[in-house]
Structure 1
Amino acid sequence: MPPRHLLPTIIIAQFACTSLWFAPNAILPALAGAYDLPAGALSYLTSAVQFGFVLGTLVFAVLTLADRFSPSKVFFCCALLGAGATLGLLWNGHTLTSLVALRAAVGFFLAGIYPVGMKIAADYYKEGLGLSLGYLVGALVLGTAFPHLLRDLIPGDAWPTVLWTIAALAVAGGVMMWLLVPDGPHRRPASSVDASAFFSVFRKPDFRAAALGYFGHMWELYAFWTFVPVLLAFLTEKNGFFLSVPLASFTVIAVGGVGCVVGGYASRRVGPRKVASVALAVSGVCCLASYFLLDWLPAEAAFFFLLIWGIAVVTDSPQLSTMVAGSAPAEQKGTALTIVNCLGFAITIVSIELLSWLLGWVSPVHIFLVLGVGPALGLLGLATGRRTAQQQLLP
């Protein structure tokens, strides 16, 4: 039985370090004014993080770093480097190109934080992994939302404080993981670089099914998180609203953490596949309904709808990751999680840029319809995997 302090430590460290993800998104108006950024800067900066994450996960997967070296030490090093790259945003001579480069660097180092954090949890919690990852992804959700809360609490002209606070949190999270979380009992270190692992894990049908479900989920998730503040700003300007845009954005994103934890407990009763399927179905319905509902609902009702969507859009994430980890060989578990993250985040770049392009043509209330493709494909992948499993059980 793992010590009681382990899971809370991993959760807090994950929250602290993943707050690096959307740090400039929350202060974009201030950054745009300070560095004279163009109108499309939001998608450029967000896609840069995703691209850096994809590149980082590719390097981590091919070199099997999370399986060859102590994952806690990998986490610690990446936390320090990510914090440094975030503070680099404070340099006065930035252009959009240099900001994009720094955000790509942060994304690269996040590849040693998010999937490695899941790997660390999987090394300790072989049983009940869905619940453990529910807490862990819930921490990611809160970390993603946290910069928006900071922006609401900190005066507009003090926006550098947001970056200093987030960088300090990341350093603290890395130190906690390094000092308090040794290698887990279920860790099976790889002895050498195994480039074939990037492809060999996909030979297993159950792994392919879980991965396809995850890819569909990722088509929707980060595009939704990226453009929720844009949508809320539009609705507030149109109808007025009782919350500030940063606080409302934090609430819509952060409430997904509740869904992750509740889904983790539910998975202990009904299994991760069923929880993931229900969440994908609900978020898919929200994608379709958004085209019609957000145009005529009062601001308060639209906010309630977004809260439901904010829960459903990420509840499936820890359960899909549980299925990925559970279907991968023990000595390739960290690499498998990293590979799926790599491809999943590559997909997010396409959906984020697509919504940014649509924003130039249609109202913000209509751009989310195209995200419904993701949950549909995710459900198809899970259904295919279930049929394959049933066929294998037949005599």
Structure 2
Amino acid sequence: MHNRWVALTVIVVAQLCALSVWFSASAVLPSLQEEWGLSVDQGWVVTVSVQLGFACGAIVSALLGFADRYNPKRIFMVASLAAGVFNGLLIFSSTLELALVLRFLTGFVLAGVYPIAIKLVSLWFQSFRSISIGILIAGLTLGSALPYLLLGFQTNLLWQTTILISSVLAIIAGLALFVLLPTKEAQASSSKFSFRNIHYVVRNRKVMYANYGYWFHMWELYAMWTWLPFFLMASFTNSDSSYSYLIAFVAIGVFGGVGSFLGGVWAERMGKVRFTIIAMTTSGICAILIGLTFQQHPFLTAFVAIIWGASIIADSGQFSALVSDYASPEYVGTALTMQLGVGFLLTAVSIYLVSVFVPVIGWGAVFLIISIGPLLGVFAMLRLEKMIQST
């Protein structure tokens, strides 16, 4: 059990199950809108509240130094249990206001799952870290897309059942990791978040360009993960909705997972910055092209969606690695928290904008809004590459 690859398997599977609550409500959003009488604007808030909760949870966790003060295994367990409970309580919610509170709290406690999983992997892997983080992010993509798989096989599944299954998985994940994963002695921890250190982060141009790349990457990522299934349903007018959910799961979960793993391998070989440029260029092109396939041949749409799903997440782990490379140890904790917090706040904006512009410009053009993210991200990473080469 003390083999680090076995430990990685435990961490990844536990994270996969725990993060299934992230998009559980988004996956059943049409059912929630019908049952609760929600407008389109009210519907998107259900999704965005999780993003805002996660951003707030990450900042609070960093300010209080939870990851450095407490056993990360215990934090993961408590956070997973809480996420399962808050997500499950959505079944008993009868008002939008209560649902938003529960989704915010779900996102808030998930800040004790994904970042802590990264810390656990870092403790076990001093070498092959890019590859191990890539595998962990593959688990993130699979877990996030899991509700789409459930709906793909059972389109007549009650929304309460989807919520309940994801909650049970999260609870089992927390308990299983705590029992199965041996405690690994922590190495010297990185610095904690401090508002006083923000000016050091802002003045470090290499760190800021890495941050810009991540923020533009996040602008695209979660909007795509949220809206791709609904784009596919609108595009595949002659197909059952289960087909759209399954394609979304394959694109986001399966090929996203493959892209994450291969991204870690390729980043080790060609360099982090160069790989992020290639990945964002590919995903940006897909964001532009997929609208042109709208209500055309389903195979072509599915093909572009799969390439998009693989490329959009492939570089995700490299931005935090770049910040760790170029930030001083005295403020690396602040830099990483700033990167994460701002990134997830931006996801709320891009998710909202898609919902606003779909009725105005249609599905065929709406993803052009999020294609701006990777295109600007490429520019930021080219500037970073030039700075690195000149020093």
Per the normalisation by structure 2, the TM-score is 0.91
1:160-171 correspondence to structure 2 within 5 Å? 160-171=160-171
Supply the distance in 2 between the matched residues of 1:378 and 1:184 (Cα, whole angstroms). Answer: 36
Structure 1, unmatched stretches of 5+, are none
Supply the distance in 2 between the matched residues of 1:232 and 1:180 (Cα, whole angstroms). Answer: 39
Q: 1:233 maps to what in 2?
A: 233
Q: 2:31 maps to what in 1?
A: 30
Supply the distance in 1 between the matched residues of 2:332 and 2:176 (Cα, whole angstroms). Answer: 23
What's the CA shift for 1:96? Answer: 1.4
CA shift in 2, pair 1:390/1:190, >3 Å: closer
Supply the distance in 2 between the matched residues of 1:81 and 1:200 (Cα, whole angstroms). Answer: 35
Q: 2:19 maps to what in 1?
A: 18
Letter in 2 for 1:365: G
Q: 2:47 maps to what in 1?
A: 46
- SS at the partner of 1:217? helix
1:193-204 correspondence to structure 2 within 5 Å? 194-197=194-197, 200-204=200-204
What's the CA shift for 1:246? Answer: 1.8
Q: 2:358 maps to what in 1?
A: 359
What's the CA shift for 1:307? Answer: 0.9
CA shift in 2, pair 1:60/1:123, >3 Å: same
Letter in 1 for 2:54: F
What's the CA shift for 1:341? Answer: 1.5
Q: 1:251 maps to what in 2?
A: 250
CA shift in 2, pair 1:332/1:169, >3 Å: farther
Supply the distance in 2 between the matched residues of 1:223 and 1:302 (Cα, whole angstroms). Answer: 18
Supply the distance in 2 between the matched residues of 1:267 and 1:234 (Cα, whole angstroms). Answer: 36
Per the normalisation by structure 1, the TM-score is 0.90
Identify which range, 359-368 or 35-44, moves more after superposition: 35-44
Supply the distance in 2 between the matched residues of 1:343 and 1:72 (Cα, whole angstroms). Answer: 26
What's the CA shift for 1:190? Answer: 6.8
Supply the distance in 1 between the matched residues of 2:60 and 2:34 (Cα, whole angstroms). Answer: 35
Q: 1:387 maps to what in 2?
A: 386
Q: 2:316 maps to what in 1?
A: 317
Percent identity, please: 31
Supply the distance in 1 between the matched residues of 2:206 and 2:272 (Cα, whole angstroms). Answer: 13
What's the CA shift for 1:332? Answer: 6.1
Supply the distance in 2 between the matched residues of 1:283 and 1:193 (Cα, whole angstroms). Answer: 32
CA shift in 2, pair 1:203/1:183, >3 Å: farther
Letter in 1 for 2:298: A
Identify which range, 378-387 or 31-40, moves more after superposition: 31-40
Q: 1:209 maps to what in 2?
A: 209
Supply the distance in 2 between the matched residues of 1:353 and 1:157 (Cα, whole angstroms). Answer: 27
Letter in 2 for 1:305: V
1:124-143 per-position Cα deviation (integer Å, ceiling 9, x unaligned):
32322111111011100001
1:104-135 per-position Cα deviation (integer Å, ceiling 9, x unaligned):
11111111111221122223323221111110
8 Å CA contact retained: 1:151, 1:159: no
Supply the distance in 1 between the matched residues of 2:366 and 2:201 (Cα, whole angstroms). Answer: 35
1:244-291 per-position Cα deviation (integer Å, ceiling 9, x unaligned):
222122122112111011111112211222221110011111222234
Q: Is 1:268 matched up with 2:258?
A: no
Supply the distance in 2 between the matched residues of 1:59 and 1:212 (Cα, whole angstroms). Answer: 22
Q: 1:57 maps to what in 2?
A: 58
Supply the distance in 2 between the matched residues of 1:109 and 1:28 (Cα, whole angstroms). Answer: 21
Identify which range, 336-345 or 274-283, moves more after superposition: 336-345
Identify which range, 175-184 or 185-194, moves more after superposition: 185-194
Supply the distance in 1 between the matched residues of 2:8 and 2:213 (Cα, whole angstroms). Answer: 26
Identify which range, 266-275 or 173-182, moves more after superposition: 173-182
Q: 2:108 maps to what in 1?
A: 108
What's the CA shift for 1:65? Answer: 2.1
Q: 1:308 maps to what in 2?
A: 307
What's the CA shift for 1:62? Answer: 2.2
Structure 2, unmatched stretches of 5+, are none
Supply the distance in 1 between the matched residues of 2:117 and 2:335 (Cα, whole angstroms). Answer: 13
1:1-12 correspondence to structure 2 within 5 Å? 3-12=4-13
What's the CA shift for 1:334? Answer: 5.7
8 Å CA contact retained: 1:61, 1:336: no
CA shift in 2, pair 1:68/1:194, >3 Å: farther
1:176-219 per-position Cα deviation (integer Å, ceiling 9, x unaligned):
33234455456324798844355544444332222211111000
Letter in 1 for 2:306: L
1:126-174 per-position Cα deviation (integer Å, ceiling 9, x unaligned):
3221111110111000011101111233462533222222111111221
Supply the distance in 2 between the matched residues of 1:169 and 1:213 (Cα, whole angstroms). Answer: 33
Supply the distance in 1 between the matched residues of 2:14 and 2:288 (Cα, whole angstroms). Answer: 36
Supply the distance in 1 between the matched residues of 2:73 and 2:336 (Cα, whole angstroms). Answer: 16
Root mean square deviation, CA, Å? 2.4
1:7-54 per-position Cα deviation (integer Å, ceiling 9, x unaligned):
111111111111111001222233233322223344111111111111
8 Å CA contact retained: 1:58, 1:338: yes
CA shift in 2, pair 1:189/1:295, >3 Å: closer
8 Å CA contact retained: 2:221, 2:313: yes
Supply the distance in 1 between the matched residues of 2:342 and 2:305 (Cα, whole angstroms). Answer: 27
Q: 1:132 maps to what in 2?
A: 132
8 Å CA contact retained: 1:62, 1:197: no
8 Å CA contact retained: 2:195, 2:334: no
